[in-house]
């Protein structure tokens, strides 16, 4: 097993140094741990929830690369980021990601326009909008994130039904919309993340839902796996549940990445 989605103190809303996450992953018996903290963004975009470009260069990158050497033979440490899809920033993000020796980049949608819809501070906005339109807008962003930069901006689609985080549900079945979305994801040759953090949120459900996992299975889209740990104790959390879904919908295989090249491994 591997955990490809972890954060650390640099993003200002997670606890623990990078090394604490790695040590926890070793304790859990994981083969690989991906450091995938929130990416820096241009023009102070959402600065309170991420490292700066300066911190990326002076702290994040050298620390991850140093720890990779330190724990060689014990665990494979992957150098990664959780990037944001935000219309207008694609070129900046593409250039930034291309200039760095990442193993992979997760692409996540956390914003619908100015609305940080996964932030508990703004949860009241769900009530102020039509929920079906919110879902449609969200999946439109997911689709655009997959085709952004000619389909090469991101390697893994992160928590791809995050819009359900607080338990709001659309009033109609989204099957058709979802099939259109995952056609684009398939064409972009991305992996889709099973993210266990939803189980720790009000929705109490893994990302993505089994409805989406069935579509992913139908389209033969590869799976990836992450806990989205914002504290070292959450590394590898609920992976027994994820394991069953990987067997059921992914043929027991998950994606691993080196230098942004994907391969698949059988989980044990």
Residues binding Zn ion (CB under 5 A): 228
Tell the smallest beta-carbon distance from residue 218 to Fe ion (Å): 26
CB nearer to Zn ion: pick between 10 and 177:
10
Rounded CA gap, 16 and 246, in Å? 29
CB nearer to Fe ion: pick between 7 and 68:
7
CB nearer to Zn ion: pick between 103 and 118:
118
Please enumerate, as own/partner, the contacts of 7-11 that have beta carbons within 8 Å and a separation of 24 or more.
7/36, 7/37, 7/38, 7/82, 7/228, 7/229, 7/230, 8/35, 8/37, 10/37, 10/50, 10/51, 10/55, 10/59, 10/60, 11/37, 11/38, 11/49, 11/50, 11/51, 11/230
Tell the smallest beta-carbon distance from residue 196 to Zn ion (Å): 11
CB nearer to Zn ion: pick between 32 and 251:
32
Closest CA to 195 of 163, 236, 143: 236
Tell the smallest beta-carbon distance from residue 5 to Fe ion (Å): 6
Tell the smallest beta-carbon distance from residue 14 to Fe ion (Å): 9
Stretch of residues binding Fe ion (CB under 5 A), selected from 81-89, 185-193, 236-244, 250-258 = 81-89
Stretch of residues binding Fe ion (CB under 5 A), selected from 105-113, 137-145, 181-189, 239-247 = 105-113
User: Restricting to residues 131-170, which ones interact with Fe ion according to CB under 5 A?
Assistant: none
Rounded CA gap, 143 and 137, in Å? 10
The answer to whether the bond into 20 is cis (omega within 30° of 0) is: no
CB nearer to Zn ion: pick between 162 and 256:
162
Stretch of residues binding Fe ion (CB under 5 A), selected from 64-72, 80-88, 216-224, 252-260 = 80-88
Structure tokens at 199: 């189980």
Q: Identify the residue among 89, 108, 134, 227 touching Fe ion (CB under 5 A).
A: 108
**Phi/psi of residue 232, nearest 5 degrees:** -55, -30
User: Restricting to residues 224-253, which ones interact with Fe ion according to CB under 5 A?
Assistant: 228
Stretch of residues binding Fe ion (CB under 5 A), selected from 47-55, 75-83, 217-225, 254-262 = 75-83
User: Restricting to residues 191-230, which ones interact with Fe ion according to CB under 5 A?
Assistant: 228
Rounded CA gap, 52 and 75, in Å? 28
Tell the smallest beta-carbon distance from residue 11 to Zn ion (Å): 6
CB nearer to Zn ion: pick between 155 and 228:
228
Q: Does 82 contact Fe ion by CB under 5 A?
A: yes
Q: What's the Rg (C-alpha) of the chain? A: 17
Q: β-strands 2-3, 32-35: how paired?
A: parallel
Q: Output b/e per residue, 90-118; b: 16+ Cβ within 10 A.
A: beebbebbeeeebbbbbbbbbbbeebebb
Sites of contact with Fe ion (CB under 5 A) = 82, 108, 228
């Amino acid at each position: 097993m591997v955990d490809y989605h972890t954060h650390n103190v640099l993003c200002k809303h997670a606890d623990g140094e990078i090394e604490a996450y790695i040590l926890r992953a070793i304790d859990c018996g994981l083969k690989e741990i991906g450091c995938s903290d929130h990416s820096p963004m241009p023009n102070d975009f959402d600065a309170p929830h991420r490292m700066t470009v300066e911190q990326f260069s002076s702290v994040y990158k050298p620390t991850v690369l140093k720890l990779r050497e330190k724990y060689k033979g014990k665990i494979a440490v992957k150098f990664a980021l959780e990037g944001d899809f935000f219309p207008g920033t694609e070129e900046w993000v593409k250039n930034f990601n291309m200039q760095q020796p990442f193993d992979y980049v997760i692409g996540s949608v956390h914003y619908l326009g100015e609305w940080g819809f996964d932030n508990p501070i703004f949860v009241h906005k769900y009530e102020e909008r039509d929920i079906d339109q919110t879902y449609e807008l969200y999946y439109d962003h997911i689709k655009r994130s997959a085709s952004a930069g000619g389909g090469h901006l991101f390697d893994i689609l992160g928590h791809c039904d995050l819009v359900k985080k607080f338990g709001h549900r659309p009033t109609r079945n989204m099957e058709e919309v979802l099939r259109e979305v995952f056609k684009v994801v398939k064409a972009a040759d991305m992996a889709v993340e099973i993210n266990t953090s939803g189980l720790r949120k009000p929705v109490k459900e893994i990302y993505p839902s089994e409805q989406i996992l069935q579509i992913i299975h139908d389209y033969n889209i590869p799976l990836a796996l992450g806990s989205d740990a914002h504290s070292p104790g959450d590394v590898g959390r609920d992976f027994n549940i994820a394991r069953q879904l990987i067997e059921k919908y992914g043929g027991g295989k998950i994606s691993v990445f080196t230098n942004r090249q994907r391969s698949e491994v059988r989980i044990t």
